[in-house]
Structure 1
Amino acid sequence: MPTGVHIRDARRHLFDAAERILFRDGPNTLTSRAVAAEAGVAKGVLHRHFADFDAFLVDLVQERIARIDDQAAALREAAGTGTVAGNLTGALMDLFDPVAVAIVGLVVFRDELRVRLRQARPGRGIPVLAEAAAMIASYLDDECELGRIAVDTDADALALSLIGAGHLLFAEREGGPPDAGAVGKVVTAVIADVVQRRLL
């Protein structure tokens, strides 16, 4: 697209292009040149809206984190309904879509991006995964209060186990993502103790 052509929402247009690249090719191919080419715009368009490529990536990741915040609200609404394993399985299936998995890889391997994200959102852990673990922990706390899991459940530790296991299941790019049955099997195994002990 030639310079000077108006794009209604250039930021959204560039984010969508980046997500298509992440989905199709993974994080290793994501460059400012690739994003501009995918978006069909001159490379200068990206630099008119962002100080540099890492600033663009920070905003892209923060947008993904905002989606996790929305997912967290929906998951907490599900507390007390369905089964704990079913709710957690659905949450992991929604959380670890191919773009989210690629974004985690991007955060892990780009030191400057990780530093800037930590400045914007202080805390421990890998951005995106840390927010996902907090989402799961909050849900588990709610289920604990409702008596659907053991009263002494360490929600934070259990959430880390679920996020780690979920990420491992979804991280393999070959062959596509696991199905709900495979994810549910792992979730059921991870939470078996706290579900069984609530009955004692």
Structure 2
Amino acid sequence: MPTGVALRDVREQLFAAADRILLRDGPHGLTSRAVTDDAGCAKGVLHRHFADFDAFLAEYVLDRAGRMDEQAAVLREAAGTGTVTGNLTEALTALFGSVAVAIVALITFRDELRARLRETWPAGVPVLTEGAEMIAGYLAEERDRGRIAAGAHVDTLAAVLIGSTHLLFADRTGARPEPEAVRHTVTTVLAAVL
């Protein structure tokens, strides 16, 4: 992009470029040059807004984790409607059908990124931790409505659902899991509490 041309919402343009690159090329393809090329701007634009590339990546990951609040609200609103299995299948498919799996791979791939994230995210893996909190909140709502067992340990169930579903989606190169595979996982994990 020529010097002097204003970019609208530079952060979001750069973050959207990172999404596209992660989905297309995986974490090894995510470089500052790739991000700025995809966003259609000069490389210096990224460095004017972020101290360095790992600072950009840390803010990107935290931004994407923070966006899960909207998904959590939608899932909580679904409590008491439809089926618990159906609601969770839909939510987990949407979560892992997004850039979330690629973000987890990115965090695993880059040591410096993990170190930066630890400064503001002391435990767990962003996106997976948010996903587990989203599922646990929903399951607590359903437990309060009597749609799952009163003694159900929602935090454990949520962690198992996140981990199991992540494994279904983790292979970026293979075919995406069918909704029935996700539904089977949810049904199996929740069998004792439904």
What TM-score does the superposition give when structure 1 sets the normalisation length?
0.92
Q: Partner letter of residue 138 of structure 1?
A: G
- Whether the 8 Å contact between 2:27 and 2:109 is mirrored in structure 1 is no
Conserved 8 A contact 1:108-1:126:
no
Give 5+ residue unaligned stretches, structure 2: none
Given that 1:114 and 1:127 are in contact with CA atoms closer than 8 Å, whether structure 2 keeps it comes out as no
Q: 2:32, 2:63 → 1: CA distance?
A: 18
Equivalent position of 1:167 in the other structure: 166
| Contact preservation (8 Å) 1:18, 1:35 | yes
Q: What is the rounded CA distance, in whole Å, between the counterparts of 1:108 and 1:68 in structure 2?
A: 20
Counterpart secondary structure, 1:96: helix
How far apart in 1 are the matches of 2:97 and 2:173?
14
Which residue in 2 is equivalent to 1:188? 187
Residue equivalent to 1:198: none
Structural RMSD (CA): 1.3
The answer to whether the 8 Å contact 2:22/2:102 transfers is yes
Q: Percent identity?
A: 63
Q: Which structure 2 residues correspond to residues 121-200 of structure 1 after superposition, within 5 A?
A: 121-122=121-122, 124-195=123-194
Matched, 1:73 2:52: no
For 2:109 and 2:24, the matched residues in 1 are separated by 18
Residue 46 of structure 1: aligned partner:
46
Question: TM-score normalized by structure 2?
Answer: 0.95
Work out the CA distance in 2 between the residues paired with 1:84 and 1:114.
34
Separation in 2 of the partners of 1:99 and 1:176? 15
| Runs of 4+ deviating beyond 3 Å | none
Q: Which secondary structure state, in structure 1, belongs to the residue aligned with residue 151 of structure 2?
A: coil
Judge conservation of contact 2:139–2:154 (CA < 8 Å) in 1: yes
Query: In the alignment, is residue 82 of structure 1 matched against residue 71 of structure 2?
Result: no
The answer for the alignment partner of 2:107 in structure 1 is 107
What is the alpha-carbon distance in structure 2 between the residues aligned to residue 57 and residue 99 of structure 1?
A: 14
1:24-53 CA-partner distances (Å, limit 9, x unpaired): 111111011111111221110100011111
| Aligned-partner Cα distance in 1 for 2:68–2:13 | 21
SS of the residue corresponding to residue 186 of structure 1 reads helix
Aligned length: 194
Query: Shift of residue 98 of structure 1?
Result: 4.5
Cα-to-partner distance string for 1:68-96 (whole Å, 9 max, x where unaligned)? 11111111111111111001101101111
- For 1:38, the aligned partner's letter is D
How many angstroms apart in 1 are the aligned matches of 2:132 and 2:164?
Answer: 11
